[in-house]
Chains A and B, each alone.
Chain A
Amino acid sequence: MRDMIVISVLSLISIIAAIYAVKANKLVNAIVASGVISLIASIVFLMIGAPDVAMTEASIGSGLTTVIFLYALKQIKADKEDKND
């Protein structure tokens, strides 16, 4: 029962983060919010007894994907500055 409550609260946070990721004005905030969703998903996976999937989600979903998105965003910004010159 306690697990159920914790999972519900975490799911609620991840839904809020998802809405924020869509509505955010700055893309950096949206990327970080999508990282938060992956982190919460990995906690939920761990709680329902899937440590293998939780490790994958934590390392790839919230770690590497966020960094790659940030690098891609940087590249897009560099491209835009090139065009303005």
Chain B
Amino acid sequence: MIKNLLIIIALVGMVIITIPLVREYQTPKVISGVAQDYVELSASKLNIPNTITAIVVTFRGLDTLGEVTVLFLATAGVGFLLKSKNTKKTKKRAGSEILKTGSAILTPMILVLGVYIFTHGHLTPGGGFQGGVVIASAFLLQIMAHEDFKFSHHLIHFTESISGFSYVMIGLAGLVILGFNHFLDPRWLELGKWGSLFSAGAVPIIYSLVGIKVGAEMSSLLNSLKEDGGDE
């Protein structure tokens, strides 16, 4: 009783604190400061229609590299934690007929959608992270439908390492070709025609690598969770 009362008092207090913020908030009509530069430079210097991608891959490229590293560490941690447990084989239930048939139709479509999302990251909304997770959901569908579905751990770790390595190498290529202060600068490749698939320098390549890496990481995460420890 007294606990609920305290919770209600705390919630009401938070509402009272945030009321001035909400009341004074107005939707900004003009973009200002650094945002103005992002919008102008992504079109004029980088040739990228999707400003979000320009910010994520280029202006804040180091943050994206850090994010990918954090994701890798998290996946490695989960794999390590689950591996140390006893690997007792539990009996698994087979997926139903509807799930099996549906997954056979849907999996190729989902894979194509995922690849589309990360290769068109610089043109349309979406990018490496979203596309990678969509690809992982295709693998999830297979894992759920077929109780003995397996994919090679070595292959998936190899894919993940190669794409992460290539990402850093592309960043270093900017440093080598364009000179100092150009780490992760995609302009060492041709900028191409505005709005075409092969444009905006190395941005589509970087986002494809990020997509493959995230997809491989998420798939191996789901696989190690499902396998109850995994048998490498």
- The chain A residues found within 8 Å of chain B, CB to CB, are 51-52, 54-56, 59-60, 63-64, 67-68, 71-72, 75, 78
Contact A56 B225 (CB under 8 A): no
Contact B140 A55 (CB under 8 A): no
Q: A51-B125, A55-B125, A75-B228 are in contact. Are A67 and B140 (CB under 8 A)?
A: yes
Contact A63 B137 (CB under 8 A): yes
Classify the secondary structure of A's interface with B: helix
Contact B137 A59 (CB under 8 A): yes
Residue pairs across A and B with CB atoms within 8 Å: the count is 43
Contact A59 B134 (CB under 8 A): yes
Interface residues in B88-146 (C-beta closer than 8 Å to A): 90, 117, 125-127, 129-130, 133-134, 136-137, 140
Pick the residue among B117, B126, B133, B228 that contacts A64 (CB under 8 A): B133
CB distance from B93 to the nearest CB of A (A): 12
Chain A residues with Cβ below 8 Å from B140 are: 64, 67
- Indicate if B209 sits at the interface (CB-CB under 8 A): no
Contact A71 B225 (CB under 8 A): yes
Chain B residues with Cβ below 8 Å from A67 are: 140, 222
- Indicate if B60 sits at the interface (CB-CB under 8 A): no
Q: How far is the CA of A68 from the CA of B218 in the complex (A)?
A: 10
Nearest-neighbor residue (CB-CB) of B121 within chain A: A52
Contact A71 B222 (CB under 8 A): yes
Question: How many residues does chain B have at the interface if contact means C-beta atoms less than 8 Å apart?
Answer: 21
- Indicate if B221 sits at the interface (CB-CB under 8 A): yes
Contact B226 A71 (CB under 8 A): yes
Please, what's the 1-or-0 string for B64-90, where 1 marks a CB less than 8 Å from any CB in chain A?
Answer: 000000000000000000100000001
Q: How far is the CA of A28 from the CA of B50 in the complex (A)?
A: 39
Contact B125 A72 (CB under 8 A): no
Q: How far is the CA of A52 from the CA of B134 in the complex (A)?
A: 14
Chain A residues with Cβ below 8 Å from B52 are: 52
Q: Which 3 A-B pairs have the closest CB atoms?
A: A51-B125, A71-B225, A59-B133
Q: How far is the CA of A30 from the CA of B150 in the complex (A)?
A: 30
Given A59-B130, A64-B133, A67-B140, 13 more contacts at CB 8 Å?
A52-B50, A52-B127, A55-B117, A55-B126, A56-B130, A59-B133, A63-B133, A64-B136, A64-B137, A68-B225, A71-B225, A75-B225, A78-B90
Q: How far is the CA of A67 from the CA of B133 in the complex (A)?
A: 12
Q: Which of B117, B125, B136, B228 has the most CB of A within 10 A?
A: B125
A-B contacts, 5 of them at CB < 8 A, read A52-B50, A52-B52, A64-B136, A64-B137, A78-B90
CB distance from A4 to the nearest CB of B (A): 12
Chain B residues with Cβ below 8 Å from A56 are: 129-130, 133
